[in-house]
Amino acid sequence: MFKRVLLKVSGEALAAGRGFGIDAIFIHKVAEEIAQVARTGAQVAIVVGGGNFFRGVAEQAIDMDRVAADHMGMLSTVINAIALQDAIEKQGIATRVMSAIAMHEVAEPYIRRRAIRHLEKGRVVIFGAGTGNPYFSTDTAAALRAMEIKADVLLKATSVDGIYTADPKKVPDAVKFQTITYMEILKLGLKVMDTTAVSLCKDNSMPMIIFSMREEGNIMRVVKGETIGSMVTA
Ligand code: UDP
């Protein structure tokens, strides 16, 4: 059983079948699972993505300034953070949203020591606004926060149940890695996370488990230490 985890939830995951925005039924299911984990005494911090609303890189392609687009992307992660907060609190678990971009009326500012204090008190901490900087991703924010709060592991919830030699949706005989190193991910050019996030984890020996959030009960399984998904080590 892990004591302190950093769970990365992508925006896409929250959109579930809808492709855009937030799927109300799915977010409540996810919140139920997170609350269940928090009740066991495990400390849960979450980094949410924003791809279900806005992605900087994609907008740049239609001639938008990258920095402006990234600012919009980061704000979209705050929308998800508040939705997740609302859903988890409905389960009777105390939460705090901490934003990397100051917006005092909506969320606490990110202060590392305060985040750790919240976790020690059993509150689920949701980190919004990524790293607060353009040209980064929320995967990089997840790697960074995991290191800052000294999480035991980075848990990346996706729609695929691990890392494969090729995209299993396109290549039917793709093989799943039970374990893999960050170096192998880079060498094989596997699209697991962007290279900034991979290097951060690699250089600081932060282990990561990639697993599917589509299957109910998986968040609890992975926190308990069951071998699901793919494990990445330095
Ligand atoms: N973003 C950013 N800096 C960060 C994190 C995110 O500028 O530190 C912006 C970026 O435009 C990104 C968007 O926020 O495309 C949404 O985040 P991401 O694409 O990582 O979300 P996910 O794919 O996890 O839903």
126-150 residue pLDDT tens? 999 999 999 999 999 999 999 999 9
Q: What ipTM describes this predicted complex?
A: 0.97
Kindly give the number of the ligand 1 atom that is closest to the alpha carbon of 69. Answer: 11
pTM: 0.97
Q: State the amino acid at position 129 in one-letter form.
A: A
d(C-alpha 48, C-alpha 54), whole Å: 13
State whether the beta carbon of 128 lies less than 6 angstroms from ligand 1. Answer: no
Q: Check if 70 has its Cβ closer than 6 Å to any atom of ligand 1.
A: yes
Kindly give the distance from the C-alpha atom of residue 85 to the centroid of ligand 1, in angstroms, as a whole number.
Answer: 19
Mean pLDDT (the chain, rounded): 95
74 lines ligand 1 (CB under 6 A): yes
Q: For 2-15, what is each residue's pLDDT tens digit?
A: 999 999 999 999 99
pLDDT digits (tens, 9 = 90+) for 173-189: 999 999 999 999 999 99
Spatial distance between the Cα atoms of 101 and 114, rounded to a whole number of angstroms: 16
Single-letter amino acid, residue 183: M
CA atoms within 13 A on the CB side of 28: 4
Contact present, 120 and 92 (Cβ < 8 Å): no
β-bridge partners, 48: 9
Q: How far is CA 197 from CA 82, 131, 212, in A?
A: 24, 12, 19
The CATH number assigned to the domain with range 4-233 reads 3.40.1160.10
